A and B are shown apart, each in its own frame.
Chain A
Amino acid sequence: MAEYSTVFGGLNDFTPGGVDAIDDDPKNYVFSNVFDVADKSAPYERVAVGKNLEYVIEAVRAEGQSPWYACAHDEFALCMDGEVEIHLVKPATAPVDEDSEGAVILQDAPDGRKMGRILIRRGHMALLPGGAAYRFEAGSPSVLLTQAIQGPATIERWADICQIENRSTA
C-alpha cells in the first residue's frame, strides 16, 4: 500500500476548493487562495486575504528584494512556497511611533545595528520583531503569509481575489 503523501501546494501547483452555496451567498466566506493571490500580485504587494477587525493576514509574492519595512509590534511571516531571506536591523532612531499599528514602507535603508538574518523555506515561520526594520529577499518567486495588523503597506482588493459566484465542489 502506498505511503501517505502530504499535499502543500505552491505558486505553480495549486487547485483551490470553493464554496458550494446551498442556501447562502459565497461572498459570506471571503474565500480566496494564497497562491492564487500571490500569482496575480506584483512582488511584495501585501494583499490582505483575511481581516478580523484591525488584524489582517496578508499574501505576499516574494521575488527579488523588498523595500525595508518597520513596525512597532511583532509580526510573523510563514513561508508557504519557495525560499526567502529576511534581514533584520535595529534602527538607531525609531522610524515609527511606538503606539502605531501595521507595517510601513521605509523610503531608505535604516541606519542601525544589524540584528541578523533568517533563511526560511516552505513551512518555516519567522518572527518579525516589533521595533525592528526588515527586508525580504527571494531568488525565485516565493510565497509568504503574514500575521499582521492592517497598516499603510496593506492592500485590500477583496472583489478581485474572492469567490463571488457559486462553485460546485462535486
Chain B
Amino acid sequence: MTEAIQSHYKISPASNETGYRSYEAGSFRFRRDEYFVTVTWPKGEHTMAADAFMRAMMRTVAWGFFYGTLAYDPVFGTTNHYGVVDMFAGTYHPVFKENDRDHLEKFKAEDLLELFRDLVDDWTNEGYDPFAAPGEKRAGKPWGRKNGNNETAVGRIRVTANRMVGLSGDAEIRTDENGYPQNRMFKDVPSDQPLVVAEPGFENEVAAFNLYDYLSRSDVTWNPSVCSVVKESLFCPTSEEFILPVEHGNDRCEWFVQLSDEITWEVKDKETGKPRSRVVMRPGDVACMPADIRHQGYSAKRSMLLVWENASPRIPEMIQNGEAPVVAVQF
C-alpha cells in the first residue's frame, strides 16, 4: 500500500492497432483491446472482459465512487473515503494478499474521476450503452476496435430530486413525450396518475406522482436516483436487470425494499470475499445489507428496487471512528 496521494495521470494516444487510448493513474495502467481490458500494477496484471469492465466503470463514474467499495471482480476495484479514493488490486483477495501480489494507491477523488470519465468516453463505441442490460436492443455491443462514441449514453446525469419528483422546479416525471417510453419488461405497469386536488396557494405542497410508472420508464439499470428527500434520508429507487455490475462493499448499512419482481443477492465477507449469505427478495421484502459485507444482485426479470440511503455528512466520520453501526438494528 502507498499512503501518499498519487498525482501521476497520463492519457496515451490511440493505439494504431485497436484505436483505443490507454491510461495511467499512479502506477496503475489500463489498456483495452477488442474484447478485454487489462489492468497492470507493479506486482501484477489482471484481465477482465470489456463488457463487465465498462458496466462497472460506468457506475463508478456515474456514482462518483458511491459509498464504500466498488469491486469490479474479486481482484480490482475502488474504495471511497470521500475526497480520497483507494484504487486496489488483490487487496481483498486472500491469495493475492498471502503472496504479496496485492497493491493499493490513493488518489484525489475528483482527479481520478476525471481520468475515468475520459476512459469511459473513449472506450464506449457508437451504439453501446453500458447502462443497459445486455438483453435490451439498445444495449449495443462493447466489442471490436474503436468505432465512434456514445456521449448521450455515458453522459447521462443521475437524477437527484431536491424534494420529490414531479414538483414544480424539481426532477421531471417521465413520459412518452419527454423521451421515456416504458421498458419492454414493464409494459403492463399502470400509468395512471394520482388524483390531486390542491386548494389555491397549496399547489406545490399537495402533490403526488406514480413512482412505479416512473420506474417502468427508466432507461438505465442499477443506477439509483433520488426521488424523495426527508432531510438526509434519500429514497433512491432503481430498475434492475441482469447483474449489478460491481460487488458493492458496504461501509455503512444499506436498506433495500423490493417493489416488484425478484432479486437474489449473493453476499460475501467484505475483506475476504468468502460467502456469507444468499438473500432472495420478493415484492414487499425489506432487508438491510450490513456494513461489513459485499453484495451483488441478480435480477432475471427487470425489477423495481427501492434503495434507501442515509446521506448524513456525519457518517464518514462515524465510519472512521468505528462508531457507525455494522448491523442496522439489534433485536
Chain A interfacial positions (CB closer than 8 Å to B): 3-9, 14-24, 26-36, 49-53, 55, 57, 73-76, 78, 80, 88, 90, 113-127, 129, 132, 145, 147-149, 158-159, 162, 169
Tell me, yes or no, whether B255 is within 8 Å of chain A by CB: yes
Check A14–B284 contact: CB distance below 8 A.
yes
User: Pick the contact of B328 from A6, A14, A30, A114 — CB < 8 Å?
Assistant: A30
Check B279–A123 contact: CB distance below 8 A.
no
Given A6-B186, A29-B289, A55-B230: A125 in contact with B257 (beta carbons within 8 A): no
Which residues of the partner chain B approach A7 to less than 8 Å between Cβ atoms?
Answer: 260-262, 282-283
For the complex with contacts A24-B276, A28-B277, A35-B284, 15 further pairs of A-B residues with Cβ separation under 8 Å are A9-B283, A17-B258, A18-B280, A28-B290, A31-B286, A35-B283, A50-B255, A52-B310, A76-B228, A124-B208, A124-B210, A125-B227, A127-B228, A159-B331, A169-B264
Give bound CA distance, A103 to B206, whole Å: 18
Give bound CA distance, A149 to B231, whole Å: 9
Check A33–B285 contact: CB distance below 8 A.
yes
Check A55–B202 contact: CB distance below 8 A.
no
B164 to A, closest residue via Cβ: A127
Which residues of the partner chain B approach A73 to less than 8 Å between Cβ atoms?
Answer: 230-231
Chain B interfacial positions (CB closer than 8 Å to A): 163-164, 167, 184-190, 192-199, 202, 205-213, 216, 227-233, 235, 253, 255, 257-262, 264, 267, 274-290, 301-302, 308, 310, 312, 327-329, 331
Check A123–B211 contact: CB distance below 8 A.
yes
Give bound CA distance, A22 to B268, whole Å: 10
Check A3–B260 contact: CB distance below 8 A.
no
Check A114–B289 contact: CB distance below 8 A.
no
Check B284–A80 contact: CB distance below 8 A.
yes
Nearest-CB distance from A4 to chain B (Å)? 4
Which residues of the partner chain A approach B212 to less than 8 Å between Cβ atoms?
Answer: 8, 122-124
